[in-house]
């Protein structure tokens, strides 16, 4: 399957640039099992990679020219000069690969140009990290072609730098690390403070369960400023509590911390979400490591309630998925990703998948909403070279 994709993408590269690429690489989108809006608070996250990937056919250049093309946009080839890349100057899809070239060069790596053709199966705007996939696939290809010797976590850091400084989105490190470092059959337990990671076996099919992704088709966007506002609120909370980041507020000390915040209700809610969410990640890790997989269901549902009521980033469509799935017998469900639309995840017994899916689809019809896209998420491989 990946060979066929690699061939198609290489062929199109040949048509566009009249030469064969030096290679073809892939990097996946992700879903986050638990640990939402914790990654810019130095906290814990637990994403896994989707089978959906961004694929890049790339050839190295020595002349300072960067040429970019996307099969998904299918406009003309965009030509840029690597030494004239300017942060925040580009609002389109080219900002992701160009931002990575900029970030690599800013970090002192001699990237002297490239021809790049990209094609992605990660649905855009669905909260499944389509942009991180574009960044990571570009970074991995350039790492190989320019023999930079960078490892997955370093590539993830550079991609985040690209997204923060060049694209202008104030995101954390989760999505890029997931795309760069995930392994098939595992979820990635990541400490976003020291970037230590642990691969946690997560093979639901072997235990008779499934994890569904329900893309509500409500397009989320970080640029609207709500993400940045939540982030600023968390930083305010940490400053008021005199800690470097909300990660440093112990779960056992939460009530005392909330008391200290007095009547700043908004900051109190943000702090409560982050501190309880970090505890939920640790609980999910313990349950999975103890082989008690079904017991993570209620923890996912708690996480959703916290994102909806305290962090206030859900939306009616996401709540509808979660409430309907739980009433139809799902073990757990929650929104995933940045919020304000995008996707929810649903954990269900294999035998209940059809009924739960039907219930969610009927609920959307009854509410007069666009039908959601539902697919099973199997923990898949992180970024890799295809050919």
> Of 24, 7, 11, which Cα lies nearest the Cα of 386?
24
Number of residues counted as binding ligand GLA (CB under 6 A): 11
Q: Which residues contact 188 (CB under 8 A, 6 or more apart)?
A: 45, 46, 47, 48, 177, 178, 181, 182, 197, 198, 199, 200
* CB burial of residue 228 (10 Å; 0-12, 13-18, 19+): middle
> Of 237, 279, 200, which Cα lies nearest the Cα of 35?
279
Residue 7 beta carbon to ligand GLA: minimum distance, rounded to whole angstroms: 31
Q: Which of 9, 49, 111, 174 binds ligand GLA (CB under 6 A)?
A: 174
Q: Given the rule CB under 6 A, which of 34-42, 139-147, 357-365, 378-386 is the region that contacts ligand GLA?
A: 34-42
Does 100 participate in binding ligand GLA (rule CB under 6 A)? Answer: no
Q: Is 218 or 386 the residue whose CB approaches ligand GLA more closely?
A: 218
Q: Is 39 or 278 the residue whose CB approaches ligand GLA more closely?
A: 39
Structure tokens at 284: 């999910």
- Of residues 322-351, those binding ligand GLA (CB under 6 A): 337-338
Q: Which of 23, 97, 152, 172 binds ligand GLA (CB under 6 A)?
A: 172
Q: Which residues contact 361 (CB under 8 A, 6 or more apart)?
A: 371, 372, 374
Q: Given the rule CB under 6 A, which of 94-102, 167-175, 211-219, 360-368 is the region that contacts ligand GLA?
A: 167-175
Q: Is 23 or 233 the residue whose CB approaches ligand GLA more closely?
A: 233
Does 36 participate in binding ligand GLA (rule CB under 6 A)? Answer: yes
Does 175 participate in binding ligand GLA (rule CB under 6 A)? Answer: yes
Active-site residue identified among 39, 90, 115, 175 = 175
Q: Given the rule CB under 6 A, which of 7-15, 37-45, 179-187, 195-203 is the region that contacts ligand GLA?
A: 37-45
Residue 380 beta carbon to ligand GLA: minimum distance, rounded to whole angstroms: 18
Instruction: Check: CB of residue 101 under 8 Å from CB of residue 114.
Output: yes
Does 215 participate in binding ligand GLA (rule CB under 6 A)? Answer: no
Q: Residue 58 — φ and ψ, nearest 5°?
A: -140, 140
Q: Which of 24, 26, 37, 213 binds ligand GLA (CB under 6 A)?
A: 37
Residue 212 beta carbon to ligand GLA: minimum distance, rounded to whole angstroms: 19
Q: Is 337 or 382 the residue whose CB approaches ligand GLA more closely?
A: 337
For this structure, is 248 an active site residue?
Answer: no
Alpha-carbon distances, residue 161 vs 13, 168, 188, 370 (angstroms): 28, 9, 21, 35
Residue 21 beta carbon to ligand GLA: minimum distance, rounded to whole angstroms: 29
Residue 280 beta carbon to ligand GLA: minimum distance, rounded to whole angstroms: 13
Q: Which residues contact 313 (CB under 8 A, 6 or more apart)?
A: 37, 226, 230, 307, 335, 338, 339, 340
Does 171 participate in binding ligand GLA (rule CB under 6 A)? Answer: yes
Count the Cβ atoms, other than its own, within 10 Å of residue 201: 14
**Site map 14..33 versus ligand GLA, x via CB under 6 A:** ------------------x-
Residue 90 beta carbon to ligand GLA: minimum distance, rounded to whole angstroms: 18
Residue 1 beta carbon to ligand GLA: minimum distance, rounded to whole angstroms: 27
**Site map 260..299 versus ligand GLA, x via CB under 6 A:** ----------------------------------------
Structure tokens at 213: 């992704």
Residue 293 beta carbon to ligand GLA: minimum distance, rounded to whole angstroms: 22
- Of residues 40-79, those binding ligand GLA (CB under 6 A): 40
* Active site residue ranges: 175
Q: Which residues bind ligand GLA (CB under 6 A)?
A: 32, 36-37, 39-40, 171-172, 174-175, 337-338
């Amino acid at each position: 399957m990946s060979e066929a994709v690699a061939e198609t993408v290489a062929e199109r590269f040949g048509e566009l640039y009249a030469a064969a690429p030096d290679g073809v690489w892939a990097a996946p989108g992700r879903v986050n099992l638990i640990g939402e809006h914790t990654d810019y608070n130095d906290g814990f996250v637990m994403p896994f990679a989707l089978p959906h990937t961004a694929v890049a056919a790339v050839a190295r250049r020595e002349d300072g020219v960067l040429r970019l093309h996307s099969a998904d946009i299918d406009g003309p080839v965009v030509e840029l000069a690597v030494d004239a890349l300017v942060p925040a100057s580009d609002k389109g899809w080219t900002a992701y690969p160009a931002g990575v070239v900029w970030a690599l060069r800013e970090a002192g790596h001699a990237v002297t140009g490239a021809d790049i053709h990209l094609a992605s199966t990660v649905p855009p705007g669905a909260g499944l990290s389509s942009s991180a996939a574009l960044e990571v696939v570009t970074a991995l290809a350039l790492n190989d072609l320019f023999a930079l010797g960078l490892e997955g976590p370093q590539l993830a850091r550079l991609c985040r730098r690209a997204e923060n400084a060049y694209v202008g989105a104030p995101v954390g490190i989760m999505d890029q690390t997931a795309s760069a470092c995930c392994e098939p059959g595992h979820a990635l337990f990541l400490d976003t403070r020291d970037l230590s990671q642990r691969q946690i076996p997560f093979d639901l099919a072997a235990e008779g369960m499934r994890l569904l992704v329900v893309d509500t088709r409500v397009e989320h966007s970080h640029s609207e400023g709500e993400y940045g506002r939540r982030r600023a609120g968390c930083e305010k909370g940490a400053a008021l509590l005199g800690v470097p980041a909300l990660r440093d507020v112990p779960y056992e000390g939460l009530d005392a911390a909330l008391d200290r915040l007095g009547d700043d209700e908004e900051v109190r809610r943000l702090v409560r979400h982050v501190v309880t969410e970090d505890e939920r990640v640790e609980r999910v890790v313990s349950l999975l490591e103890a082989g008690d997989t079904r017991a993570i269901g209620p923890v996912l549902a708690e996480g959703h309630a916290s994102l909806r009521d305290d962090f206030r980033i859900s939306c009616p469509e996401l709540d509808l998925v979660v409430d309907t799935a739980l009433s139809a017998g799902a073990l757990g469900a929650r929104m995933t990703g940045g919020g304000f639309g995008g996707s929810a995840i649903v954990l269900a017994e294999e035998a209940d998948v059809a009924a739960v899916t039907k219930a969610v689809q009927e609920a959307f019809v009854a509410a007069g909403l666009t039908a959601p896209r539902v697919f099973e998420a199997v923990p898949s491989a992180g970024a890799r070279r295809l050919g």
